[in-house]
Structure 1
């Protein structure tokens, strides 16, 4: 089965549309949505409805910190700009949409796969996996062979052997990476809706569970239209500029 790993959509309608079309053209059969459907972008209602449609079709969906901020209130430490966008987003959603967000789980396990927004060791803390140490801690916290998470807006891949030896890869778009079955793996596909590695193209990844092969993908999309949506919503102009710069 080919599984699309999509995270940090951030209410970016144009990016999500492009990613779903790109994945369908590559034979993707199912989707795993790794949180942060909301926040920063100008089309939260549309994006959330599309997420709900995918879940009805069998997709995995977990709670992100921006989703939690909209549905339950911001966590301590969330930046003021993000809080303001969360409040605006809440005003754009219907009761059925807020009810969907509130019931999202922190984690989902399917077979050898664990899906979580931030990390496996304390999902509700939303602590970032910024490098190898946090990745090892996360892999130690689960028996899952494959952990897929988001939160970091850059693509990352880590592995841990049975003897405790850890390593990491720098993902290259479109390059297939065999995930050896005698190791644990933690993959972060990057952000669909707000990449932050200097490349504005949307990020996602495809995992072939039968072949145990992962490939990271970059998808150009109409970032100008996404930025215009942010500005039209009256959200901070900096959020629109970030989309164009990939930061």
Structure 2
């Protein structure tokens, strides 16, 4: 079964639309949505409705820290723009949409795959997998062969052999990677709606569970429209639009 791994949508309708279309053109048979559907962007209601519909069709959907903050109130440790975006987003969603976000699980296991927003060792704490140390801690916390998580906004792949040898590398888009069966793997597909590696194209990954092949994808989308939508949304911090615009400049 080929599944699309999508994380950190952040209410970016333009990016998510482009990724969904690209994934379907690749013949995906399922979706795994790894959290942070809201926050920062201007279309939280539309994005949440898409996630809800995909989940109703059998997709994996786990909660991210922004999702829970919108459903339950912002975390005081969030920076000011993020907190302001959370409060704005809460006012854009219906009670049913807020309830859906608040009821999402922190993690889900299907066969030998673990799906979680931040990490496997403390899903509720939302600590970042910033390097090999946190990745190995995450892999040691689960018996699943494959762990898929988001939160970091940049694509990355980690692995752990049966003898305890660890490795990592930064993948290149579109190149299939065979995930060897004698290792554990931690896959971070990158951010769909808020990529932060200097490339403005939306990130996601394709995983074929039958063959064990993984490929990281970059999908161009209308960044200018997403920037304009944030600027036009009364109440969203202007800095959030400028951050997306800056990624566009860096990517040229």
TM-score w.r.t. the length of structure 2 is 0.96
Q: Map residues 100-119 of structure 1 onto 2, 5 A cutoff.
A: 100-119=100-119
CA deviation map 1:72-99 (0-9, x unaligned):
1122411111111101000000011011
Contact 1:199 1:245 in 2 (8 A): no
Q: In structure 2, the residue corresponding to 1:125 is in which secondary structure?
A: coil
What is the rounded CA distance, in whole Å, between the counterparts of 1:80 and 1:242 in structure 2?
A: 14
The residue correspondences of 1:175-186 to structure 2 (distance < 5 A) are: 175-186=175-186
Unaligned runs of 5+ in 2: none
1:236 aligns with 2:246: no
For residues 153-192 of structure 1, what are the structure 2 equivalents within 5 Å? 153-192=153-192
- Give the secondary structure class of the aligned counterpart of 1:14: helix
Q: Is the 8 A contact 1:109 1:115 kept in 2?
A: yes
Shift of 1:245: 2.8
Asked if the contact 2:74/2:87 (under 8 Å) is kept, the reply is no
Cα separation, 2, equivalents of 1:75 and 1:237: 21
Deviations, residues 92-148 of structure 1 (Å, cap 9, x unaligned) = 000110110110000000000000000000011100000000000000000010000
For 1:29, the equivalent position in structure 2 comes to: 29
The reply to whether residue 53 of structure 1 matches residue 48 of structure 2 is no
Q: Deviations over 1:125-175 (max 9, x none)?
A: 100000000000000000010000000000000000011100012110000
Q: In structure 1, what is the Cα distance between the partners aligned to 2:170 and 2:47?
A: 29
**Aligned residue-pair number:** 247
Partner SS for 1:92: coil
Deviation of the 1:53 alpha carbon: 0.7
Residue 5 of structure 2 aligns to a residue in which SS?
Answer: strand
Name whichever of 234-243 and 118-127 sits farther off. Answer: 234-243
1:93 maps to 93
Q: Give the superposition deviation at 1:244.
A: 2.7
Q: Note if contact 2:3-2:207 (Cα within 8 Å) is conserved in structure 1.
A: yes
- 1:191-206 mapped onto 2 (5 Å cutoff): 191-206=191-206
Question: Contact 2:75 / 2:83 at 8 angstroms: preserved in 1?
Answer: no
Counterpart secondary structure, 2:192 = coil
RMSD over equivalenced CA pairs, Å: 0.9
Secondary structure in 2 aligned to 1:123?
coil
Aligned to 1:126: 126
Distance (whole Å) between structure 2 residues aligned to residue 79 and residue 151 of structure 1: 16
Runs ≥4 residues deviating over 3 A: none
Paired with 1:21 and 1:244, the residues of 2 have a C-alpha distance of 23
